[in-house]
Chains A and B, each alone.
Chain A
Amino acid sequence: GAGVSQTPSNKVTEKGKYVELRCDPISGHTALYWYRQSLGQGPEFLIYFQGTGAADDSGLPNDRFFAVRPEGSVSTLKIQRTERGDSAVYLCASSLTERGTQYFGPGTRLTVL
């Protein structure tokens, strides 16, 4: 079946702009996760959804970052007033259940000029 998909694959924006990154999880997966991977580093946790609600958003770096999952499937990560330090690959993962194996999408590479 289809894996986790993320759009766009690449996003270039200017400092101060607003961006939205989309994640389509594997069908039927109830849990959805966002991570951020900087160059040469491992992924770092941002936020986790169980169904429609954010179960843990402790990894969001500040209030410029926000994520939603209104119908318990697709999720959107929103970044306001982007900064050059936000440049990274944003990864989405989903799992069948809360403690299930996480399957990752290909990521969105965000570049803030």
Chain B
Amino acid sequence: GDSVTQMEGPVTLSEEAFLTINCTYTATGYPSLFWYVQYPGEGLQLLLKATKADDKGSNKGFEATYRKETTSFHLEKGSVQVSDSAVYFCASYNQGGKLIFGQGTELSVKP
């Protein structure tokens, strides 16, 4: 069945550092791909999405490009802030109603 694998955390960075969180997927066909973020004490929020190959999703300085050839959707940000500290989830959506989530990557940004 479909699955999503993302790099394990926790990831600890200094403020203004470059961020990459890796995400790969397995699916039949071509799923839509998402990054969700869960800030401390809050619910899951959609960060960005891409619905077809080579699409780039972006929001709040974060970017991810849908790479069909490598079945990847890596999350990047050029300069992280303390306020970016959160748990990030990669997810895929192929058919039916279900999102398939990765296990989450905790990011901690130190001033």
Q: Which residues of A contact B (CB under 8 A)?
A: 4, 31, 33, 35, 40-45, 48, 50, 55-56, 59, 91, 93, 98-99, 101-107
Residues A101 and B98 in contact, CB atoms below 8 Å apart: no
Q: Judging by beta carbons under 8 Å apart, are A42 and B43 in contact?
A: no
Q: Closest Cβ of chain A: how far from B17's Cβ, in Å?
A: 24
Q: Are A55 and B44 in contact (CB under 8 A)?
A: no
Which residues of B are in contact with A by a Cβ distance under 8 Å? 4, 32, 36, 42-46, 49, 89, 91, 93, 96-104
Residues of B within 8 A of A103 (CB): 46
Number of A-B contacts (CB under 8 A): 55
Q: Which residue of A lies closest to B46 (CB)?
A: A101
User: Could you say which of B4, B98, B104 contacts A33, with CB atoms under 8 Å apart?
Assistant: B98
Residue in chain B with minimal CB distance to A31: B97
Contacts of B49 in A (CB 8 A): 101
